[in-house]
């Protein structure tokens, strides 16, 4: 796995962000330690700084500040993670800019809950009738059936369209 892919996979665990130029640079095959979240809570990356070096021999460096306010993860460079939050970030940026890196990008990562996520359909209740009481056809679960001026979860016959509201 390339560092770029590794990084991309981590981003998949966080909300979508705008495409980052050069992020899918697959030319480097150096192994890199897989970074795990600090905890298995819902902490996530809150702010990310991306440093690039004009010399293409140097991989980009990603500095992530997590929402817990102190966890700092670094991909690339010396791999010097920290736990002092913004102080570490400032020191890391100072260290790497002194080494010739440039701050290419600096942005707050989106809220962890995408507002345009589709609503999760209500789970089907366990007691689906085996067959339609009217015609014996199979019964289908409808999470949002609409009929007779109301809507909601219902059982619906695939044959004769017999239906029954699940929540009377």
Distance CA 12, CA 10 (A): 5
To Zn ion, the closest distance from the beta carbon of 141 in angstroms equals: 15
Which of 61, 72, 139, 157 is close enough to bind Zn ion by CB under 5 A?
A: 157
Q: Is 159 a binder of Zn ion (CB under 5 A)?
A: yes
Residues 6 or more apart whose CB falls under 8 angstroms from that of 2 comprise 26, 28, 29
Work out whether 131 is an interface residue with Zn ion (CB under 5 A): no
26-34, 81-89, 112-120, 135-143 -> range binding Zn ion (CB under 5 A): 135-143
Closest CA to 166 of 148, 147, 149, 141: 141
- With binding defined as CB under 5 A, does residue 20 bind Zn ion? no
Is there binding between residue 162 and Zn ion (CB under 5 A)? yes
Q: Does 160 bind Zn ion (CB under 5 A)?
A: yes
Which stretches of the chain bind Zn ion, using CB under 5 A?
132, 134-135, 137, 157, 159-160, 162
């Amino acid at each position: 796995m390339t560092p770029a892919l590794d990084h991309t996979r981590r981003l998949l665990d966080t909300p979508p962000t705008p495409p980052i130029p050069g992020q899918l640079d697959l030319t480097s095959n150096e192994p890199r330690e897989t970074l795990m979240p600090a905890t298995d809570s819902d902490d996530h990356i809150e702010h990310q700084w991306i440093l690039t070096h004009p010399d293409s021999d140097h991989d980009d460096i990603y500095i992530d500040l997590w929402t817990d306010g102190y966890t700092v993860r670094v991909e690339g460079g010396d791999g010097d993670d920290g736990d002092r939050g913004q102080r570490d970030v400032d020191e890391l940026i100072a260290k790497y800019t002194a080494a010739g890196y440039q701050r290419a990008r600096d942005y707050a990562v989106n809220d962890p809950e995408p507002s345009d996520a589709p609503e999760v359909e209500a789970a089907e209740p366990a007691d689906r009738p085996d067959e339609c009481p009217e015609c014996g056809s199979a019964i289908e679960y409808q999470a949002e059936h609409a009929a007779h001026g109301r809507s909601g979860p219902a059982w619906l016959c695939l044959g004769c369209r017999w239906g029954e509201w699940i929540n009377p």
